[in-house]
Each structure stands twice: as C-alpha cells, then as structure tokens.
Structure 1
C-alpha cells in the first residue's frame, strides 16, 4: 500500500454569500497534488479540538505535513503579543502541536511548511520574531505578495543535511511570511539560511526521528520547479522507508 501522508487542515470561513460565516475544513490543493505526484496518498486531517481524535487520526497515517496558515500565538513561547503580530488561531496551535507530538511519539516523519516550520520550532522550545521589522538584520523582502509559483530569493544549504542532498548548495525559493525564527529549538540543526541570515530550514534526523521544516512554500513551486517536487518525492520515500521498519 502507498504511504498515507496526513496534511494538517485549517478552517475557512465563508464571507459575502448565502453561507456567510459558514466554517469549512480545507487545505490548499497544492499540497494534495504534490503528494500524489510523489506517489503518496494525501489525507486531510481536519481541524478539531478533540485531542483523542487528533491522536487517532495521526496513528492512521504514515507521515505528516504541517501546513501553513495563521501566526503562531506568542504565548506559546513566553511572549506577549507585539504591535505587528498578525491574526492568531490559538486552537489551531493546540491542534498542530498535538499532531506533531503524536507523530514524533510513533516515529512518523514530519515535514513542516511555513507556519508548520514555525510550529515545529516553538513546540520544541524555540521562539519567533513576531514581525520581520523586529529583527534588525533582515534586508530582503520575505513577503513577496505576488505569484505563489514565482521564486524570489535564494537560500543556501548546510552540508550533510536532507535538503542539501536533494537540492544542492543553493536554490531560489518563494517567500510569504512576516515572522521568522529567533531562537532555534534545542536539538535541531539549522539547514538553510537566506543571504541576510534568516533561518529558512531546520531538521532533526535520527534513527527514531525524522523532522524537517522549511519557511518557504515548496508545494506552490512544485508544478513549475522539478527540484521543489523532488522535496516531496524524497519525503514520501523517507516515510515509506520508515514505515517498513
């Protein structure tokens, strides 16, 4: 059986139509299609607040993608909200963190994207800059506000890392975020940085743990750029390998 990849879901609230205010469970279709192309079976884990149900859903998949979305609530890393923080969704923080903790408990590989990358860092004891303007070293435009499949700035990878082995020393990525990592979680290796020093990827890979996170959105690039699709290909292969142990 093909490996089943759980994708953390979000809530979309309808506006300005017959069903205004209606709540819908969803993920962006790019995630689904990237996993299908990689030979996996995508499975949306719908947002909910039943911790037992969340755990059981994760137990029924082979690997997990933590998807993008709202800002992470700063109370999760011991800070009060500052003036430039965006919209938060505290209940989803709990949801995503429970998915992560359950996946790691059962040695199911985790791939975090954008918010998912930040969730991985925070749940493991790291912190965030609540806005790019609070980090005085930032020089590049990290929220491109443009075509999602357009790559806009480079990231450079450290040697002997999962993504370096797939992508080489440097690639150009897209960029849709206003928060970045501040303190990297203990036990995690910095995998990639942008030219201005923003941490763009981290990993923790051992015999019993496979966790990789990226700040950009490879799922949005995966149709246009073969290297971005290859990230999903290799993740699904890793899930398959660990599933068979």
Structure 2
C-alpha cells in the first residue's frame, strides 16, 4: 500500500450556540478542507490552535501545510492600530500559525494559505493588509459574494510562469470570494501571481520553494465545480509526497 502524505490543516475555535452546551468552545475546520485533501490523494489532519512552542513538533509529523480561513489578522502584527471596520481577531491563532510557517519553511514542506491563510503568509513575511475593502481608494469589485460557495463570481488573471500558472496551466481562473480584508503591500520575498480586474491581489507565492502559495479565494469550496481548484490541492500533495 502506497503511503499517502499527511497534510496538516490549521484549525480555529468556534463557540457552539446549539445543543446542551451553548457557548462551549470547539476546535474545527470546515469539512471542505478535509474533502479537498482526501479526494486529491492526501491524508487530512486538523491542527487545532495550540501554543506556538508546539509548532516545530507538529510540523515534524506532517508532509504539507494548509493555513485555513477564519478571523482577521491582528493589525498589531503589521504595525497598525485596529480600525473601525476590522473584524474579530484571534491573536493566539496568529502566533501559532506564524510558528507553523517558520517551522514549515525550515523543513521545506509545501505550504498553501487560503483566504486568511494567504494574509497570514503576507503579514508573516512583512506585508500589510487593508483592514476593510472600504479603506482601499481604488474602485473595488465585490469580494464577498452572495451566492453559494461553489459558485464562482469573478475571474483572476494569473502571472505567466508562476507556480499557479504551472499548476493549473491557464492564464485565468474563475473563483469564489469571501473576504472583507485585502492584501495592501507585498514583501520582496513574495511574488504576486494572481489579481482581479480591479488590481486586488488574489495569489502570491515564493519562487524559492517548490510549493509555497497563498490564495485569497477558497479552492476547497470549488472542488466540485472548478477543476482548477483540485489541481491546486493535487500539486500540493504531489510535492508533499516527495522524500
């Protein structure tokens, strides 16, 4: 039997308002992440938000890392005060995911950041964010869709010869969109590999790694409707499977 690579998926905490324990905290990720990994050749493993000092040991046990969506990144991490339209933050999760990234880079395993995960990558490397779309001066299309998650609502253009281009072998992709914050500045260690028609960053990567990618959209929600979404997970898992 061929051993499948283990892909760790960073989780969050939700307060369950139903059942016999209303307000009880539960560690979770949306099941789409699990399906996206398992359906494309990997073994999904949820990584609950934990003390940052545990990250190195956790990364030692996995072959690839996905940073999932969720709360806003704490603006203190990129030198700003919290503005009026910033959403809920989870500083302990930021610290844990920064530590996961540091350990993943040291081990040189493939990394995929999704939505918040892409923003975490950008901030970890020294970039900044718009705390809300309304703080961007330029015209901006809708980036929080009103349709069901598997329905794409806008197109992104993909940079030629980028990792994303080589992965899906297309110069554009139809994607969904569920974010109110945007990438503002990108550090020199990352390259922009996907943008919308309004110039918003939708994908960024580090070309010095075989697979190190952040996407602002949610490919895990598109696996049943957009084949290119599966190709992203397939490439991550293919790289993770290498010795």
In 2: Cα distance, 1:89 partner to 1:136 partner: 27
Q: Which residue of 1 aligns with 2:207?
A: 205
Structure 2 residues without counterparts, runs of 5 or longer: none
Aligned residue pairs: how many? 240
Q: Which residue of 2 aligns with 1:37?
A: 39
Is 2:190 the partner of 1:188? yes
Is 2:56 the partner of 1:55? yes
1:3-24 CA distance string (max 9 Å, x none): 1100001111111431112111
Distance 1:209 1:226, change over 3 A: closer
Structure 1 residues without counterparts, runs of 5 or longer: none
Q: Which residue of 1 aligns with 2:111?
A: 110
Matched position secondary structure for 1:205: coil
**TM norm structure 2:** 0.95
Equivalent residue runs for 1:151-170 within 5 Å:
151-167=152-168, 168-170=170-172
In 1: Cα distance, 2:40 partner to 2:73 partner: 29
Distance 1:16 1:42, change over 3 A: closer
Distance 1:16 1:33, change over 3 A: closer
Match of 1:175 among 177, 180, 196: 177
Give runs of ≥4 in structure 1 deviating > 6 Å: none
Q: Which residue of 2 aligns with 1:68?
A: 69
1:66-110 CA distance string (max 9 Å, x none): 000000010000000111111111111111111111111111111
**TM norm structure 1:** 0.95
- Cα distance, 1:145 vs. partner? 3.0
- Cα distance, 1:209 vs. partner? 5.9
Does the CA contact (< 8 Å) of 2:141 and 2:198 recur in 1? Answer: yes
Q: Which residue of 2 aligns with 1:19?
A: 21
1:100-141 CA distance string (max 9 Å, x none): 111111111110000000000000000000000111113210
When the two chains are superposed, the root-mean-square deviation of aligned CA atoms in Å is 1.2
Matched position secondary structure for 2:207: strand
